Amino acid sequence: MSDVLIPARELNFLLWNWLDAEALLDRPGQESHDRETVDAVLNLSASLADRLFLPHFKDADRHEPWVDADGQVHVLPAIAEALREYASLGLPGAGFSPELGGMGLPALIVSASLAQFMAASLATAAYPMLTMGNARLLATFGNAAQIAAFARPQIEGSALGTMCLSEPQAGSGLGDVRTRATADGDDALGRRFRLTGNKMWISGGDHDITRDIVHLVLAKIPADDGALPEGTRGISLFVVPKWLPGGGERNDVSGAGLNHKMGYRGTSNCLLNLGEGRHQPMGAPGAVGWLVGEEGQGLQLMFQMMNEARINVGLGAAAAAYRGYRHALGYARERLQGRPLAKGGSDGGPVPIIEHPDVQRMLLTQKAYAEGALALVLYCAKLVDEEKADPAGAELLALLTPVAKSWPSEWGVAANDLAIQVHGGYGYTRDFDVEQLYRDNRLNPIHEGTTGIQALDLLGRKVLRGDGAGMAELGDRIIRTASRAEGHPALAEWESALLQAWDELQETIAVFRSADPVRVLANATAFLRGFGHLVVAWLWLDMAVTAIAVEADDPDLAAGKQRACRYFFECELPNALVWLSFSRSLSDVAAEVPTTIF
């Protein structure tokens, strides 16, 4: 097994020691799973990721998807081969109920499994990641016929899915989508429509991995005078397959071109044309689609898939950061260069660079970012498992979702940047994997809502609006961690630092409540940074307490967690206080800039 994926020892600590996954397996509906079956799934995931995903990591970057003369997109055959085996093992259905053809595993376990595939090849893992979200949305909001026709094939692995939100003129501002849907009668699948428009940036929008592709498309239904409804409330959701059910007829949805990306290249990324008349399903042009849910509910329903995708973007960012760290660690143990500071450079020849304090700093930073990011996302996956039974946990999940998306993305890229630095000049070449990990990971702060949009969501919607239940739950859990740390002298310092940071966060929010909302939101990204670092500091302290319990079994792991916790509190948490204080100052330095100065 390659040592660049996430070690079983790490996942065991997170799942069984820290997050108490066993308690999830004791719940109703989990009778057929126990620790042994879950370990089998996780071992299988690690070995499949190693055997079939990791080997094509570089080839998928070198040989981008391409379009043939008929307009069909092709991807590297090794990607299709890996995903076929992934499907044959039932993994696309791991998180779905047995009634839907799945294994019924908790989201936490599914995330831990997916993380290995993401570490091996982020681009290949993107196909099942999107497919699971698509199928889950249909399983939640589709009618029985739609579930049978479109969700089941994705769960069984014979079709892949997409999310079609963005358009050339509508990215962050989805209220401006212009794809239109006109009524075309009713049939067994529900209300049928014909869609025309252009969707931009669609990951997995076309490929030859599976014959069918299930698109979930946001579009607007025009009024009688042809005008499209304004804003996000006018958006509806449609399921638009590449092939009409029954298999015979090609739908009028086609790839109009591929985007050539910096990284993440194995995932085809398409401009899709709907209703351009290239195909004539049921004898007429126009992409055939069926309404999911009610008219005007589109964005609201799509939020289920977006929230899942946001957590999974964070998971991918954490996995890429983790793998970069593993590469840097391996390299630092082997690369001989320089003499130890203490020995005055006079004896013994060059030493492994891992012995230099500055290299240790870079490794420890990566460890704190990568393991902290993975912990954050798995913590949120557990909240997904608990949300139905625990309303306060559900509020916390909503609060943390923009953090789970953006913190791993921002700091995962920073970790990959350091992995390159540890490799010196070699890291800057394509002969080593770390430059590709950096390029792959650089997408994550952009798609599924940019970091700036996550900041507005966190501060504008989650913190300042609503009844504060998510914040109250976060405060309770932080206090619980602080009291867990209380009895341990080595952790007492961090316990008080965490509580002080929490007080500063409260103070910041109190200032925001009586300030000009425009100025408040202008400082949202500094707030997100401070908030994110505080949350990860909390999780580091919580893990450090748990690590005490595993000291006897695995002293190196325990010491590693405690050192990374200390690093986070000494070197990272102080930044959170600076960012919070800056956001609280309601500075106009970058808020009301005359655009003529640029």
Ligand X SMILES: Cc1cc2nc3c(=O)[nH]c(=O)nc-3n(C[C@H](O)[C@H](O)[C@H](O)COP(=O)(O)OP(=O)(O)OC[C@H]3O[C@@H](n4cnc5c(N)ncnc54)[C@H](O)[C@@H]3O)c2cc1C
Interface of this chain with ligand X, residues 260 to 299, rule: CB under 6 A: 261, 264, 269
Question: Does residue 163 belong to the site contacting ligand X (CB under 6 A)?
Answer: yes
Contact predicate 503/576, CB 8 Å: no
Question: Does residue 478 belong to the site contacting ligand X (CB under 6 A)?
Answer: no
498-528 residues labelled b (16+ CB within 10 A) or e (exposed) = beebbebbeebbeebeeeeeeebbbbbbbbb
Stretch that binds ligand X, among 23-31, 106-114, 162-170, 588-596 (CB under 6 A): 162-170
Beta bridge partners of 253: 274
Question: Does residue 179 belong to the site contacting ligand X (CB under 6 A)?
Answer: no
Q: With helix as H, strand as E and coil as C, how does 449-515 read?
A: CCHHHHHHHHHHHHHCCCCCHHHHHHHHHHHHHHHHHHCCHHHHHHHHHHHHHHHHHHHHHHHHHCC
Question: Does residue 449 belong to the site contacting ligand X (CB under 6 A)?
Answer: yes
Upper half-sphere CA count for residue 261 (Cβ side, 13 Å): 29
Which lies closer to ligand X via its Cβ, residue 110 or residue 528? 528
Question: Does residue 201 belong to the site contacting ligand X (CB under 6 A)?
Answer: yes
Which lies closer to ligand X via its Cβ, residue 60 or residue 362? 60
CA 186 remoteness from chain centre: 37
Question: Does residue 172 belong to the site contacting ligand X (CB under 6 A)?
Answer: yes
Among 257, 330, 338, 452, binds ligand X (CB under 6 A): 452
C-alpha–C-alpha distance, residues 300 and 303, integer Å: 5
Nearest Cα neighbor of 211 from 91, 70, 63, 72 is: 72
Among 159, 164, 317, 332, binds ligand X (CB under 6 A): 164
Grouping H, G, I as helix, E, B as strand and the rest as coil, residue 194 is strand
Site string for ligand X, 425-444 (x = CB under 6 A): ------------------x-
Which lies closer to ligand X via its Cβ, residue 17 or residue 444? 444
Contact predicate 199/272, CB 8 Å: yes
Shortest distance (Å) from residue 264 CB to ligand X = 6
Which lies closer to ligand X via its Cβ, residue 531 or residue 568? 531
Residue 410 has which token pair? 């921002």
Interface of this chain with ligand X, residues 292 to 331, rule: CB under 6 A: none
Beta bridge partners of 181: 195
# residues near ligand X by CB under 6 A: 21
Shortest distance (Å) from residue 177 CB to ligand X = 10
Interhelix angle 524-550/469-486, rounded to 10 degrees, is 40
Among 151, 165, 240, 437, binds ligand X (CB under 6 A): 165
The single residue listed with the structure tokens 């020691």 is 17
Question: Does residue 239 belong to the site contacting ligand X (CB under 6 A)?
Answer: no
Which lies closer to ligand X via its Cβ, residue 168 or residue 555? 168
Shortest distance (Å) from residue 179 CB to ligand X = 11
Question: Does residue 154 belong to the site contacting ligand X (CB under 6 A)?
Answer: no
Shortest distance (Å) from residue 530 CB to ligand X = 18
CB atoms within 10 A of CB 156: 17
Question: Does residue 111 belong to the site contacting ligand X (CB under 6 A)?
Answer: no
Catalytic residues: 448
Among 152, 327, 405, 447, binds ligand X (CB under 6 A): 447
Burial (0-12, 13-18, 19+ Cβ within 10 Å), 230: exposed
| Interface residue list for ligand X (CB under 6 A) | 162-166, 171-172, 201-203, 261, 264, 269, 443, 446-450, 452-453
